[in-house]
Structure 1
């Protein structure tokens, strides 16, 4: 009887040691997989900056856009030429169109469209004018409108600017 108890105990210990070693192997493999995933994620999350008008943006101290992973933040677009001079002065509708034109250039740089925009914030010195021309946005956002805010402000960076539009984008892989 003692022999059968001894043999059963030995078999159970042997099976337990095999299971434990398999478990340890799984833990090691899991740790390696997690490490590789973190390393891959960190590589994908290195900020990628984009300057639409490098000289102007350097002079004012900002980047027009930055992409981190699947998210892109786009600084407020205003109606300006490549030297930073206001365009369409006094023409609200054209300033708004110029903003969207610049935003489209940034989106294209990242392989995106307005369909990828998840947030749009509009800053304007003339909310009544913005509301008058807000329908133009249906030409921009053909699938759905993003979230966002419309804010009336007393002034923008340059007195001639009447509208500024900034975006947040999410681009799935």
Structure 2
């Protein structure tokens, strides 16, 4: 008889725990998933002919995340601009990146990652103060890489970004 009472008390206690936990746990609805899980990728070509020829998309947005391929200093036909002038090449990169951010309704404050590749790190460090005119609120995370060469002969810098926006 004692075993039967113990079993009933244990079952009642377990039921009480399950009811308490169940009452404090809000049901999840399918529509409450983060946007990144439900949104299809949206691709953007800044220079469609050039990007198709080289086989890449300049940017892709999935939900709240925006990933931007490395921007380089080039004209609409894919020719290098500002040859030998790292400072001007950097400004041209940021101008292209700004166009892409604006296309999606993002700002520089939404940038969370910035990776910079350069063939001349000492000169980039000398020119890096220009970034203070771009990032006025805070700097994103990221890395600076000194590399042997980039895609185009004479190219001195390439900048890639990732941005996140709460919609």
TM range (shorter): 0.7 to 0.9
Q: Structure 1 segments of 4 or more deviating over 6 A? A: none
Paired residue total: 145
1:160 and 2:158 are equivalent in the alignment = no
| TM-score (normalised: structure 2) | 0.81
Separation in 2, partners of 1:102, 1:134: 17
Higher helix share: 1
User: SS where residue 68 of structure 2 aligns?
Assistant: strand
1:35 and 2:35 are equivalent in the alignment = no
Inter-CA distance 78–63: structure 2 relative to 1 (3 Å threshold):
same
Match of 1:143 in 2: 137
State which structure, 1 or 2, has the greater radius of gyration over its C-alpha atoms.
1
Inter-CA distance 154–40: structure 2 relative to 1 (3 Å threshold):
closer
Inter-CA distance 76–41: structure 2 relative to 1 (3 Å threshold):
closer
| TM-score (normalised: structure 1) | 0.78
Match of 2:127 in 1: 133
Separation in 2, partners of 1:161, 1:171: 31
Structure-to-structure mapping, 1:71-150, within 5 angstroms: 71-150=65-144
Inter-CA distance 84–41: structure 2 relative to 1 (3 Å threshold):
closer
Root-mean-square deviation (CA, aligned residues, Å) is 2.1
Query: 1:34, CA displacement in angstroms?
Result: 2.6
